[in-house]
């Protein structure tokens, strides 16, 4: 999936090959695109998603029930210009969107220019909407100065019922995001939102390392979790390793621009090797008693010295994120793609 195109249908053959069948007209709607980051609620089986557009309404929120039936859309008219909205977060009762300084101006195409740019004068915002909202009246916005996000890590509600906690990657040096990616710095931040006052209560740094493509155990989407895993950029987009972050250690008072104490494990690839996005694979996904970090981290790593790609498997509980398996691939796997792990139980339904 990608928000610039329709979803694609793939087929798994009996010998394990994946064949692309073509574009999929989602829910009978021929022009319906959707985010590459839908959120699936493990307990209910629901999927929450959105699409953004270069024409009004620039953002539309919707959900799909456990039976695969799309529910009525909620157009978001309060978004006054097209922003690059690539990801979002969900909690038990809310969905959180990001209106960053990265904007889309289609008219620039007619001038032979890049349609995606940065509006430095714009105030970044967070949009909070009820998870089961029927219209935009159940949404509100809060200013988030200097917060420019492309990827979320997770979000949840605290036990007081009045606090939304969101963990996400904030891009510093956003003006370089299109032409000089090597100059940007993406660090993990924690934001607390007061639901009662509809305001941003607190903001703090979780890990100041240059990180991207953060993932969690998928069973914890929308729930309070402890661990996240992210790729290390030195510089972006050269991913030289993986770090494990303990979110329970993150600062909760004030905003700090530095701090790396929440990184509790890391694994660096050999010199000349770069990786892509990592994916967390639970060791026992059907066992509710298993620990959150009991699983594996999988990714593709390219070795420019040998011009070969390897599929690697790391132990997520290991203090060094030790590689427990590696498979040399017959050809190179390009960088830049998101990943997903599909268990046998789901493959059998295809």
Higher-pLDDT residue of 260, 298? 298
pLDDT higher than 90, residue 155: yes
37 carries a ligand binding annotation? yes
- Spatial separation of the C-alpha atoms in residues 52 and 36, rounded to whole Å: 11
pLDDT higher than 60, residue 260: yes
Check residue 6 and give its pLDDT: 76
24 carries a ligand binding annotation? no
Whether the ω angle into residue 160 lies within 30 degrees of 0, i.e. cis, is no
- Spatial separation of the C-alpha atoms in residues 262 and 249, rounded to whole Å: 6
pLDDT higher than 70, residue 350: no
- Spatial separation of the C-alpha atoms in residues 308 and 156, rounded to whole Å: 40
pLDDT band with cut points at 50, 70 and 90 for residue 252 = very low
- The secondary structure of 213-282 as a DSSP string is EEE--GGGTTS--SEEEEEEESSTT-EEEEEEEEGGGS--SS--S---TTEEEEEEPPTTEEE---EEEE
Phi, psi angle pair for 100, to nearest 5°: -95, -175
pLDDT average, residue stretch 143-172: 95
Check residue 256 and give its pLDDT: 47
CA dihedral 251→252→253→256, nearest 10 degrees, is 40
Check residue 178 and give its pLDDT: 80
Q: What is the pLDDT of residues 6-23, one digit of tens each?
A: 778 888 888 878 889 888
Q: What is the pLDDT of residues 200-238, one digit of tens each?
A: 999 999 998 999 999 999 999 999 999 999 999 999 999
Check residue 18 and give its pLDDT: 84
Sorted by sequence, the CB contacts under 8 Å of residue 292 that are 6+ apart come out as: 217, 219, 220, 225, 226, 227
0.85 cut: is pTM over it? yes
Among candidate residues 213, 167, 212, the one with its CA nearest the CA of residue 185:
212
Cross-strand partners of 124: none
Check residue 23 and give its pLDDT: 84
pLDDT average, residue stretch 86-92: 96
pLDDT average, residue stretch 133-142: 97
Question: What average pLDDT does the structure give for the chain?
Answer: 90
Whether the ω angle into residue 237 lies within 30 degrees of 0, i.e. cis, is yes
pLDDT higher than 60, residue 259: no
Mapped onto helix, strand or coil, the DSSP state of residue 175 is: helix
- Spatial separation of the C-alpha atoms in residues 18 and 56, rounded to whole Å: 37
Domains and CATH numbers, the chain: 34-347 (2.130.10)
pLDDT average, residue stretch 113-127: 93
Check residue 334 and give its pLDDT: 86
Contact 247/224 with Cβ under 8 angstroms?
no
Check residue 253 and give its pLDDT: 41
Q: What is the pLDDT of residues 274-284, one digit of tens each?
A: 998 999 999 99
Contact 250/262 with Cβ under 8 angstroms?
yes
DSSP state of 124: P
């Amino acid at each position: 999936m990608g928000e610039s195109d329709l979803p694609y249908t793939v087929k798994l053959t009996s010998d394990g090959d994946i064949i692309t069948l073509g574009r999929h007209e989602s829910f009978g709607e021929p022009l319906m695109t959707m985010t590459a980051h839908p959120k699936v609620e493990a307990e209910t089986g629901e999927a929450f998603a959105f699409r953004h557009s270069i024409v009004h309404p620039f953002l539309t929120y919707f959900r799909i029930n456990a039976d695969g039936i799309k529910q009525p859309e909620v157009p978001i008219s309060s978004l006054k210009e097209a922003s690059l909205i690539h990801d979002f977060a969900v909690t038990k009762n809310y969905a959180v969107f990001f209106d960053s300084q990265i904007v889309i101006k289609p008219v620039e195409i007619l001038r032979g220019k890049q349609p995606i740019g940065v509006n430095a004068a714009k105030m970044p915002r967070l949009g909070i909407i009820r998870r089961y909202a029927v219209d935009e009246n159940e949404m509100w916005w809060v200013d988030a100065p200097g917060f420019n996000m492309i990827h979320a890590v997770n979000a949840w509600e605290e036990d007081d019922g009045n606090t939304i906690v969101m963990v996400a990657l904030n891009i510093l040096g956003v003006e370089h995001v299109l032409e000089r990616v090597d100059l940007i710095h993406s660090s993990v931040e924690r934001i607390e939102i007061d639901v009662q006052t509809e305001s941003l209560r607190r903001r703090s740094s979780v890990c100041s390392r240059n990180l991207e493509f953060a993932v969690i155990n998928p069973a914890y989407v929308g729930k309070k979790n402890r661990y996240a895993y992210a790729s290390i950029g030195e510089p972006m987009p050269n991913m030289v390793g993986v770090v494990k972050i303990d979110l329970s250690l993150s600062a909760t008072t004030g905003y700090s621009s530095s701090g790396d104490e929440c990184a509790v494990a890391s694994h660096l690839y050999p010199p000349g090797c770069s990786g892509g996005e990592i994916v967390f694979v639970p060791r026992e996904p059907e066992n509710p008693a298993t620990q959150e970090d009991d699983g594996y981290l999988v990714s593709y790593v390219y070795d420019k010295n040998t011009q070969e790609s390897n599929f690697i498997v790391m132990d997520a509980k290991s203090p060094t994120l030790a590689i427990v398996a590696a498979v040399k691939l017959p050809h190179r796997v390009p960088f830049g793609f998101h990943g997903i792990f599909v268990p046998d139980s789901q493959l059998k339904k295809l």
